[in-house]
Amino acid sequence: MGIKYVIFDVGGVCYPYSLNPLDEWALENSKDKETLIEKGGVKSFDYNPYMKGQVDFEEFCKQLCEHCLVDYNKNLKAVINKKLHKGVGEFFAETLEVMNEIKKRGIKVGLLSNALPCLENTADCLVEKEFCFVSYELGCLKPDKEIYLKLVDKLSCKPEDIIFVDDKEKNVESAKKLGIKGVVYNKETIKKEVFSIINLCDGKNLKNVLEM
């Protein structure tokens, strides 16, 4: 039995992501910058309800502004959306290379992300729609085991048929406890690590694959 799916996280794996543009905006517009800094800026805000699909974008913006001590108005939805998108970097060439090689092997590539719904289209060009899984549709977040169980169920496969790649070790370890094969993302080693697992399951020689 070989690997059927390699599922990648998005932010930190497909592209770099930063909340700095939003943080800078919040500090510029906060009524109390010192208090916001003491809180830890926008990074201390609880994004989980929005990422779980429990609140819509407008409510998310209201809560974020309250946290940042910014007077809210509906025009800020567009501003916040722009700042969140500004944090999205270019795709990692190393990730794209690995994805392409995986597809050549006839293995399906997918995404599993604790995602902000407003960023839903930032990586969907990388995979087929049916293999794009996001927290706000699944109603749970990594590293909760429930999200991995739902992934396995939607793929109609066994946990050992999947390799999961994430930049956070706790997310990988949680997946591995269920039998999913896991890799902590590192640009320099990702290709070797993923294909070592694929080839071990296929009984093929790693050297031949890396020389393709």
> 5-15+90-210 has which CATH code?
3.40.50.1000
- Long-range contacts, stretch 199-204, CB < 8 angstroms, 24+ apart: 201/1, 201/2, 201/3, 202/2, 202/3
| Per-residue pLDDT at 201 | 87
For the chain, 212 residues long, give each residue's pLDDT as a single digit of tens. 689 999 999 999 999 999 999 999 999 999 999 999 999 999 999 999 999 999 999 999 999 999 999 999 999 999 999 999 999 999 999 999 999 999 999 999 999 999 999 999 999 899 999 999 999 999 999 999 999 999 999 999 999 999 999 999 999 999 999 999 999 999 999 999 999 999 998 876 544 544 44
- Residue 183: φ, ψ to 5°: -135, 130
Q: Is the pTM of this model over 0.85?
A: yes
Task: For residue 43, give every residue at least 6 positions away whose Cβ sits within 8 Å of its Cβ, in sequence order, or none.
Answer: 19, 23
- By residue count, the chain amounts to 212
| Per-residue pLDDT at 206 | 47
| Per-residue pLDDT at 39 | 93
Question: d(Cα 125, Cα 115) in Å, to the nearest integer?
Answer: 15
- The structural domains of the chain, with segments of one domain joined by +, span 5-15+90-210, 20-86
Burial status of residue 137 (CB atoms within 10 A of its CB: 0-12, 13-18, 19 or more):
middle
| Per-residue pLDDT at 212 | 46
Closest CA to 96 of 193, 208, 15: 15
| Per-residue pLDDT at 1 | 61
DSSP assignment, residue 203? T
pLDDT tens per residue across span 153-172: 999 999 999 999 999 999 99
pLDDT tens per residue across span 96-120: 999 999 999 999 999 999 999 999 9
The beta-strand segments (E) located in 114-200 are 132-134, 162-166, 181-184
CA distances, 107 to each of 9, 44, 99, 101, 138 (Å): 17, 38, 9, 9, 23
Task: For residue 117, give every residue at least 6 positions away whose Cβ sits within 8 Å of its Cβ, in sequence order, or none.
Answer: 50, 51, 53, 57, 134, 136
| Per-residue pLDDT at 209 | 47
Burial status of residue 85 (CB atoms within 10 A of its CB: 0-12, 13-18, 19 or more):
middle
| Per-residue pLDDT at 117 | 97
